[in-house]
Amino acid sequence: MDPLDDYLATVRAHGSVFVRSVCSPPWGLRFDDPRPLMLLTLDEGAAWIRPDDGEPIRFEAGEIALVRGGFTIADHRDTAPRVVIDGRNQCYAAAEGAATAGDRFKLGTRTYGTPGGSALLATATYSMRGPTAGPVLAALPAVLTVPAGDDPALALLAVEISRDEPGQQTVLDRLLDLLLIRVLRTWFATPGTRAPAGYRALADPEIGHALRLVHQRPAEAWTVASLAGATGLSRATFARRFTALVGEPPMSYLAGWRMTLAAGLLAESGASIGSIARQVGYADAFAFSAAFKRVRGVPPSAVRAGSPGA
């Protein structure tokens, strides 16, 4: 396990909504409800993605886009949306101003639009669970695009999206997971882009090894000295290189990752605070609670209660 493995553990496609949109110019689609993360591909031509929070971006066939939040996509930069897709993934004509039955737009399996148009756009929405996805989402802009290349997963997705066979949803979900990893790898490798803490440090043999140890065994009683010893570096050299590459000192990174894991366990499991404390490397609930409040700004009980500030 490395940081990206752990960050993506809760960014998984599960029952995701896949739609192929068939449109005739001028066309525009409005995705009205903010979505944690959506993947888009174009079969042909070009379009403009206009995020609610950010500048419009030109999007071309041969690219894959990831979008966070609500947005409009249209054939031209200024084309108004003709169709709105709401938070329940129901579609309606924008001129109607209310979500009426969208079945009249259905053309086939997972395919919606206007008869006689071209198959232009495929969209899929990711489900998000737990706080470990936070570092990835925080590093992403409102919209990003990367070259699709000759990715076999994308070609297979284009075929599978129109099928309706046993286990089809699982096939599509797994293909979507593969595409997400491929897109993120490409994006984070692009010069000038932000990456989650520790991601680029994985390329360093010693610091990358230390990061993998922390993520594989977060409950271990790590110290700067023990991590330095595991990498074959002196304590001072290790601490200096870790801080320079990761952006924070080793123990600060360890504490932050432990509290991220703990927040997920608090929100999603019924384990006691003492049990969770031991799972993330603390001897008792008191020490864990003090550390959690220091790092996250709220006590563990706030996360368990679903506090908005947690």
Query: Residue 98: its pLDDT value, please?
Result: 53
Q: Which of 123, 132, 18, 31 is nearest to 72 (CA)?
A: 31
**Phi, psi values for residue 27, rounded to 5°:** -130, 150
Q: Nearest-CA neighbor of 249 among 281, 227, 231? A: 227
pLDDT of residue 101: 46
Burial 256-285 (b: 16+ CB within 10 A, else e): ebbbbbbbbbbeeeeeebeebbebbbbeeb
Q: Within a 10 A sphere around the Cβ of 248, how many other Cβ atoms? A: 14
pLDDT at residue 310 in the model: 46
The pLDDT score that the predictor gives to residue 255 is 95
Where do we find the tokens 């046993």? 166
Q: Which domains does the chain have, with CATH numbers?
A: 3-188 (2.60.120), 200-304 (1.10.10.60)
In one letter, which amino acid is 215? H
pLDDT at 31: 86
pLDDT in tens, the chain (310 residues): 666 777 666 566 666 777 888 888 888 888 887 677 888 998 888 999 999 988 999 999 989 999 988 899 999 999 998 888 776 666 777 776 555 445 567 777 888 777 766 757 788 777 666 666 777 788 889 999 999 888 888 888 888 888 888 888 888 888 888 888 889 889 988 888 988 878 889 989 999 999 999 999 999 999 999 999 999 999 999 999 999 999 999 999 999 999 988 988 898 878 899 999 999 999 999 999 999 999 999 999 888 766 444 4
Main-chain phi, psi angles of 257, to 5 degrees:
-70, -40
| pTM, to two decimals | 0.77
